[in-house]
Structure 1
Amino acid sequence: METWVLPGLLGLGLAAASGLRTFLPLLMLSAAVHFEVLGVTLNESMRWLGSTGALVALSIATVVELTADLIPFVDNVLSVIGNVTGPVAGVIATWAAFADVDPSTAAIAGIVIGAPTALAFSTAQTGTRAVSTASTGGLANPVVSVIEDVVSFVTSLIALLLPLLVIPLLAFLLWFAWRGVQRVRRLRAT
């Protein structure tokens, strides 16, 4: 059971977080492996994620992504690009999480679990950003960006620390997003 359930939940949580921020979840996974904390191990084909080079590259990419997402117009471009990069990062994170299976099975799990999960969250993030831009002229986008940063960080942290809480967390996030959509629809109807 542990061979599939816990890695699946870890991958699911990291993929969801990758849908919001491409590099932050991968950086957190890399740091956990590199510094040997939280007992995280990676699939043999993805052990490069724990290397010093990967940690440095992901740190730089994360800082650039988080900073660029605070700049008007650039944030919308990043959001659209994230619809491709997020699912790729979701596949990588999920693939890496399946440490105790052969690499081809782990890759398939990454594609089946990681890509659609990250794409769903990336699509929701793109929609949120579009609504924020349209309704506030982009003035609220930095606030929305910081909220997305925090949600991505917390989701990644929960996935790494307590993967059994990933399903309730994602259910809550989906419920919260649904409530937000309902609120926007009511505002447009009035």
Structure 2
Amino acid sequence: MLLGLGLAASAGLKTFVPLLVMAVAARFGLFGFELAGPFAWLASSGALVALSLATAAELAADKIPFVDHLLSLVGVIARPAAGALAAAAAFSHADPAIAALAGLVIGAPTALAVHSAQATTRVASTASTGGLGNPIISLVEDVAAFASALLALAAPLLVPLLLLVVGIVAWRAIAVVRGASGRARVRRRAY
């Protein structure tokens, strides 16, 4: 369950990163991870190429102002879907109905919650930096997405701790950015 939770959280940051990390791990037998049954296709050569290209495109496009907001808009649907797929694949050795249910119950809401926090941070960053800070935030999200996916595969028991730390950091970052933009509004009113 924690593996699915960690992969879904990663999908909330970047749609294709956890799917790619999971597919590579399954393909090369990393962390003892295997995909079975209806999810084995994720470790195929075609899926690896497609996921690699999609990941590269998403990571690059997310650094471009305005395009990053379009990706965020599309992410409202795409990231929960990717989170559901990743979480379901984590249960690939279970009955397919159980895997699908796990994806819907664990994966989709987790990815949506993480994506919502990310989108809020982006809006606050855009408001306070005019969008100039967004590529830096995107780079941090890239690292966090890869790290959380790898951690979920290597040490799933640490996923709750990771989510707690990420939640606290996101909460503080939003508060700092909102505080800075609020002070800027007060200064503008003073003139």
TM-score, with normalisation over the residues of structure 1? Answer: 0.92
**What aligned pairs does 1:41-80 form with structure 2 within 5 A after superposition?**
41-80=34-73
The separation in 1 between residues aligned to 2:34 and 2:21, in whole angstroms, is 13
State the Cα deviation string for residues 37-61 of structure 1 (Å, max 9, x = none). 2111224111111111110000000
Hey, what does 2:90 align to over in structure 1? 97
1:121 aligns with 2:114: yes
Report the CA distance between 1:108 and its aligned residue: 0.3
Which portions of structure 1, spanning 4 or more consecutive aligned residues, are displaced by more than 6 angstroms? none
2:32 to 29, 33, 39: 39
Structure 1: where are the runs of 5+ without partners?
Answer: 1-7
2:82 is matched by which residue type in structure 1? A
Query: Does structure 2 conserve the Cα–Cα contact (< 8 Å) formed by 1:19 and 1:83?
Result: no
Hey, what does 2:188 align to over in structure 1? none
Hey, what does 1:135 align to over in structure 2? 128
1:36 is matched by which residue type in structure 2? G
Q: Identity, % of aligned pairs?
A: 54
Indicate the SS of the match to 2:35: coil
The separation in 1 between residues aligned to 2:97 and 2:174, in whole angstroms, is 39
The separation in 1 between residues aligned to 2:174 and 2:124, in whole angstroms, is 10
The separation in 2 between residues aligned to 1:176 and 1:44, in whole angstroms, is 38
Query: Does structure 1 conserve the Cα–Cα contact (< 8 Å) formed by 2:124 and 2:178?
Result: no
Report the CA distance between 1:188 and its aligned residue: 4.7
The separation in 1 between residues aligned to 2:17 and 2:95, in whole angstroms, is 26
TM-score, with normalisation over the residues of structure 2? Answer: 0.92
Hey, what does 1:4 align to over in structure 2? none
Hey, what does 1:19 align to over in structure 2? 12
Structure 2: where are the runs of 5+ without partners?
Answer: 184-191
Indicate the SS of the match to 2:32: coil
Query: Does structure 1 conserve the Cα–Cα contact (< 8 Å) formed by 2:126 and 2:132?
Result: yes
Cα RMSD of the aligned pairs, angstroms, is 1.2
1:166 aligns with 2:159: yes
State the Cα deviation string for residues 43-96 of structure 1 (Å, max 9, x = none). 411111111111000000000000001111101110111111110000000000
2:180 is matched by which residue type in structure 1? L
The separation in 2 between residues aligned to 1:14 and 1:27, in whole angstroms, is 11
Query: Does structure 1 conserve the Cα–Cα contact (< 8 Å) formed by 2:14 and 2:142?
Result: yes
The separation in 2 between residues aligned to 1:106 and 1:86, in whole angstroms, is 18
1:147 aligns with 2:140: yes
Query: Does structure 1 conserve the Cα–Cα contact (< 8 Å) formed by 2:121 and 2:173?
Result: no
Structure (1 or 2) with the larger CA radius of gyration: 2
Report the CA distance between 1:186 and its aligned residue: 3.6
